[in-house]
Structure 1
Amino acid sequence: MGSEGHGRRPFCRRCSKPSRLCLCARLNSPPLDNSVSVTILQHSLEKTHPLNSARVAILGLKNLSLVPVTDVNFQARFLIHPLQLDRDDSSSPIVGNTADFGNYAVTYSSKNILVAVERASKPDIGWILNYPVGRSAASNGFMVAKVQRKSEELKDFEEFKLVVPPGSVLLFPSGNAIDLAEVNFEVKNLIVLDGTWAKARRMYYENPWLKLLPHLKLDPAKKSLYKEVRHQPKAGFLSTIESIVYAMKELGNVMEGLDDLLEVFESMIGDQRRCKDEKFRALGKS
């Protein structure tokens, strides 16, 4: 479905691309029924980027959730509640032990974990896995809610509440990440960070609950289709849709039509390249 605002070119509401570059007709219908579900944490600045590849995954995969994420520029709190425990306890005040690390603090009880962070902190809560509440969250899944405050003058607001099911993994090349080819357990949900590589790294550090998950990494020898139009800091840093497709193949979730998503992404890059060439030609004539 197209739309046209005053002074704006027509665009497609479904894929958020200009109507003349609409991706919808290039994608299979219905979407692929992926057995490994996908959760995309999308940086707030990435949604409108003309080369954002997550839109291909969103339109092309049936079992996918999108979670918008913003930077922590003042303060944020993360409440983590293991799914195995009574969900009625997830909103109860936490009375327990507190570990204060200066620019972040962790309060934990037998039922919940609360992580309070400030701007520029890099909270590491991996040690909580030594306690029953941490082991329960890691083994049986958990619910996490992020409450953020943008400044001293503004009120708190809930940015997201997300269920992280058992069998979830994070696709990110952290120091603890293992190669996809070496995975020896069942992966049921793939979490991917969508943003520039700098923004993805910041999302990783500012969302401490990601430390409760196994981390997987792609083969660094893979080259990105982005290389001609968007900076790739080093080998193995791929677009969101490339990362999802390659990970699914390694995890055994091979579906007919999966490679078609990469073809749509490649066509989107071709569109961007042509638009850039047209712009340069127009400037040359002026």
Structure 2
Amino acid sequence: MDSPAPSKRPHCERCLRPLRSCICRWVAPLAHRVEVLVLQHPLEVANAKGSARLLHLSLPHSQLLVGEVFAEADLRDAGVKHSLLLYPDTPQHAVLGVPPAPKLDPAVLQDPAQLRLVVIDGTWRKSRKMLYLNPWLQQLPRLALSGMPASHYRIRKAHRPDQLSTLEATCYALAQLEGEAVNVRPLLDAFDGFVAQQAAYRPD
């Protein structure tokens, strides 16, 4: 049987989506100092509901890598940045052989320009597997979020109201690290527009 012909629908070269569902109108450039590295699971690349691409396009100091296992050389920063993993504490991962994350030294948080935030973009199950498969990620101190408002990510199923999209979690993390020096509200407002656009494509 012949393989199906590739789609000929025109795509946006910037957001990589079909032109009819282009999300570039929601890109809201954010003036931030903390660098952001997004590690995206391959299954999220073609997911129209995913927020990582919009996040990457809105963050001038960001990089997006796609994969499940990464070479350590691709993850390490060549400069003097201090890398933090945006991930909750997971003591239960000890049964998987994942060591406890090192303690976060408050002193490294004094200069946001010397920080790099590493974000895993995937479902909880996939992100846990990526953490397990990449020992270098296990060596990073973690930044955990708490007391966050309910997510506006109503187009994807969540088990708890405080389970955030990649974009929302990263915005709140940047606000936590940079304080009043960064205004994440315009990007969060743009995210609401993105969510509404995606919801409009779904049947009632």
Range into which the TM-score falls when normalised by the shorter chain: 0.7 to 0.9
Select which of 193, 201, 204 maps to 1:275: 201
Query: What's the CA shift for 1:212?
Result: 1.5
The reply on whether 1:10 has 2:10 as its aligned counterpart is yes
TM-fit CA distance, 1:68: 1.4
Of structures 1 and 2, the one scoring higher in RCO (CA 8 A, sep 6+) is 2
Pick the structure with greater CA Rg: 1
Tell me the TM-score normalised to structure 1 length: 0.57
Structure ranking higher in strand proportion? 1
The number of equivalent residue pairs is 184
Post-superposition Cα deviations, 1:96-155, rounded to whole Å, max 9, x if no partner, equal xxxxxxxxxxxxxxxxxxxxxxxxxxxxxxxxxxxxxxxxxxxxxxxx24xxxxxxxxxx
Q: CA shift at 1:255, angstroms? A: 5.1
Unmatched tracts of structure 2, length 5 or more: 91-99
TM alignment of 1:161-180, pairs within 5 A: 161-164=74-77, 165-175=80-90
2:10 and 2:18 in contact (8 A); partners too? yes
1:11–1:17 CA contact under 8 A, matched in 2 = yes
In the alignment, the residues of structure 1 paired with residue 163 and residue 75 of structure 2 have an alpha-carbon distance, to the nearest angstrom, of 26
Identity of aligned residues (%): 35
1:26 shift after superposition? 3.2
SS of the aligned residue for 2:108 comes to coil
CA distance in 1, matches of 2:179, 2:76: 22
Q: TM-score, normalised by structure 2?
A: 0.77
Cα 1:58/1:50, change in 2 over 3 Å: same
Counterpart of 1:238 (choices 164, 167, 171) is 164
Unaligned runs of 5+ in 1: 79-143, 146-160, 281-286
What is the CA distance between 1:11 and its match in structure 2? 2.7
Determine the structure 1 residue equivalent to 2:96. Answer: none
Q: What letter corresponds to residue 143 of structure 2 in structure 1?
A: L
What is the root-mean-square deviation in Å for CA atoms of aligned residues? Answer: 2.8
Higher relative helix content: 2
Report the secondary structure of 1:198's partner residue. helix
Partner of 1:211: 138
User: Match of 2:166, as an amino acid?
Assistant: T
Q: Give CA-to-partner distance per residue, 1:50-70, whole Å, 9 cap, x none.
A: 011011111111111112122
SS of corresponding position for 1:266: helix
Supply the distance in 2 between the matched residues of 1:6 and 1:207 (Cα, whole angstroms): 33
Q: What is the SS of the residue equivalent to 2:172?
A: helix
| Matching of residues 92-171 of structure 1 within 5 Å | 144-145=72-73, 161-164=74-77, 165-171=80-86
